[in-house]
């Protein structure tokens, strides 16, 4: 059996972006830092508006791009399914997703380098003047994803079913959402790389077993390769107040400041012409979890001899054991090269062994 499909799916722009643009428009909410002890001694009386205006500090303004559009994704799928001997059913599905007008942010008032004088001196100038940062929400990003999904299932017996799924995927983009800023707000061409959800390998194995006394066992194993994460220098060389600058691949390992890691050797102070590492260059640790659900269903109120699930009333008692092997799944490592904890995962990405008792009554 061969199946194919195509669809266009729209993702509405969150109203939170509109609310932030209204709130942080530079006039509705203002910021003052009063440090003069003469005026501080008047506390708890508030200084006058005229007095406060002398202590006004630039604040970040948020705006919506005039050409902001609703992001939409083009989904294409093609799959084949085949029944094999011994009740095996195998399917292979190819999925292609192309997201257009993905949301991102840019600091459109980030400093620009300007050459002054005749000796090549440089100066940093803000396009809109010294009014602080202007963060613009825009829909100029792209996202491309491809997946190959292999699925196998078999009903060996009416009391034993097994299934398995394997996904090989690749996802690339130049933004990971409305809060993603490029390293250089005036050049987004170097941002296209691995997306935050680029998990290359994903495997699931599960079964449903009905034992004597109608006890039901549902084991489930989930294993995935690690998700990517961004590696940054921890500095703000371009003075845009965003600490997302990325290092370069180290061309000279003897250069002062070069940091050697398990992800490669990086130069946190790149010079002109050096290649900046791609976005989301690092990879988090893999994930593995084995879960088990044991349940027993009591049915009543139906016809004599009917299965418990087919009775009019069902009372289910279940025991759910998550991460039965109590494996520690490390979370996203620290990606700041300036941190002494670079590459260390401070948190876990899943629960330790957890046992839950559940009761459900249905009718």
Above 90 in pLDDT, residue 69? yes
Give the pLDDT band (50/70/90) at residue 44: confident
Tokens of 284: 């988090």
Above 90 in pLDDT, residue 168? yes
Instruction: Give the per-residue pLDDT at 121.
Output: 53
Above 90 in pLDDT, residue 172? yes
Instruction: Give the per-residue pLDDT at 27.
Output: 81
Instruction: Give the per-residue pLDDT at 279.
Output: 95
**Domain extent listing, the chain:** 2-24+60-362
**Torsion over CA of 198, 345, 264 and 226, rounded to 10 degrees?**
-20
- Segment 214-239 shows an average pLDDT of 94
Residue in the block written with tokens 């609703």: 70
Instruction: Give the per-residue pLDDT at 165.
Output: 97
What separation, in Å, do the N-terminal and C-terminal C-alpha atoms of the chain show? 37
Instruction: Give the per-residue pLDDT at 26.
Output: 84
pLDDT tens sequence across 193-218: 999 999 999 999 999 999 998 899 99
pLDDT tens sequence across 282-292: 999 999 999 99
Quick one: CA dihedral 222, 223, 225, 230, positive or negative?
A: positive
Give the pLDDT band (50/70/90) at residue 304: low
- pTM for the predicted model, two decimal places: 0.82
Residue 140: partners with Cβ closer than 8 Å, 6 or more residues away: 65, 101, 102, 104, 188
Instruction: Give the per-residue pLDDT at 230.
Output: 96
Rounded percentage of the chain residues whose pLDDT exceeds 70: 94
Above 90 in pLDDT, residue 150? yes
Q: Which of 346, 341, 197, 195 is nearest to 280 (CA)?
A: 195
Rounded percentage of the chain residues whose pLDDT exceeds 90: 66
Measured CA to CA, the distance from residue 24 to residue 36 in angstroms comes to 26
Above 70 in pLDDT, residue 114? no
Task: Specify the 3-state DSSP secondary structure of 330.
Answer: strand
- Segment 297-323 shows an average pLDDT of 79
Mean pLDDT, rounded, of the chain: 89
Spell out where the chain has E strands. Answer: 2-10, 61-64, 72-84, 88-107, 112-116, 121-125, 134-157, 160-173, 193-194, 201-210, 215-224, 228-229, 248-249, 259-261, 264-267, 282-283, 287-300, 313-322, 354-362
Higher pLDDT, 160 or 303: 160
Above 60 in pLDDT, residue 118? no
Give the pLDDT band (50/70/90) at residue 34: confident
Above 90 in pLDDT, residue 192? yes
Instruction: Give the per-residue pLDDT at 98.
Output: 98
Above 80 in pLDDT, residue 227? yes
10 Å CB burial of residue 359 (0-12, 13-18, 19+) is exposed
Tell me the β-bridge partners of 88: 84, 154
Q: What is the per-residue DSSP string for 133-155?
A: -EEEEEEEEEEEEEEEEEEEEEE
Instruction: Give the per-residue pLDDT at 303.
Output: 65
Measured CA to CA, the distance from residue 359 to residue 143 in angstroms comes to 43
Higher pLDDT, 93 or 28: 93
Above 70 in pLDDT, residue 122? no
Tokens of 103: 């949301």
């Amino acid at each position: 059996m061969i199946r194919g499909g195509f669809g266009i799916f729209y993702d509405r722009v969150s109203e939170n972006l509109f609310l932030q643009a209204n709130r942080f428009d530079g006039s509705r909410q203002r910021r003052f830092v009063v440090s003069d002890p003469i005026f501080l001694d008047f506390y708890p009386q508030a200084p006058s508006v005229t007095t406060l205006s002398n202590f006004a500090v630039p604040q970040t303004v948020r705006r919506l791009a005039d050409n902001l559009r609703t992001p939409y994704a083009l989904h294409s799928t093609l799959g084949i399914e085949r029944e094999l001997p011994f009740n095996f059913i195998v399917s292979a599905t190819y999925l292609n997703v192309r997201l257009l007008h993905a949301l991102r942010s840019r600091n459109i008032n980030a400093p620009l380098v300007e050459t002054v004088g005749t000796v090549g001196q440089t100066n940093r100038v803000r396009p809109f003047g010294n009014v602080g940062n202007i963060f613009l929400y825009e829909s100029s990003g792209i996202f491309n994803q491809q997946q190959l999904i292999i699925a196998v299932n078999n009903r060996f017996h009416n009391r034993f079913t097994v299934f398995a799924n394997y996904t090989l995927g690749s996802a690339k983009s130049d933004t990971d959402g409305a809060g993603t800023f490029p390293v250089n707000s005036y050049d987004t061409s170097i941002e296209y790389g691995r997306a935050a959800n680029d998990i290359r390998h994903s495997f699931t194995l599960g079964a449903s077993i009905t034992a004597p006394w109608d006890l039901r066992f549902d084991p489930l194993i989930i294993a995935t390769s690690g998700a990517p994460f961004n590696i940054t220098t921890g500095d703000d060389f371009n003075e845009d107040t965003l600490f997302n600058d990325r290092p370069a691949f180290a061309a000279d390992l003897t250069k002062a400041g070069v940091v050697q890691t398990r992800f490669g050797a990086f130069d946190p102070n790149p010079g002109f012409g050096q290649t900046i590492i791609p976005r989301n260059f690092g990879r988090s640790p893999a994930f593995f979890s084995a879960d088990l659900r044991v349940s027993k269903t009591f049915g009543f109120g139906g016809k004599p001899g009917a299965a418990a699930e087919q009775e009019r009333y069902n009372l289910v008692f279940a025991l759910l054991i998550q991460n039965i092997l109590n494996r520690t799944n490390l979370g996203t490592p620290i990606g700041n090269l300036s941190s002494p904890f670079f590459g260390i995962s401070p948190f876990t990405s899943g629960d330790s062994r957890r046992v839950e008792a559940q009761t459900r009554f249905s009718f």
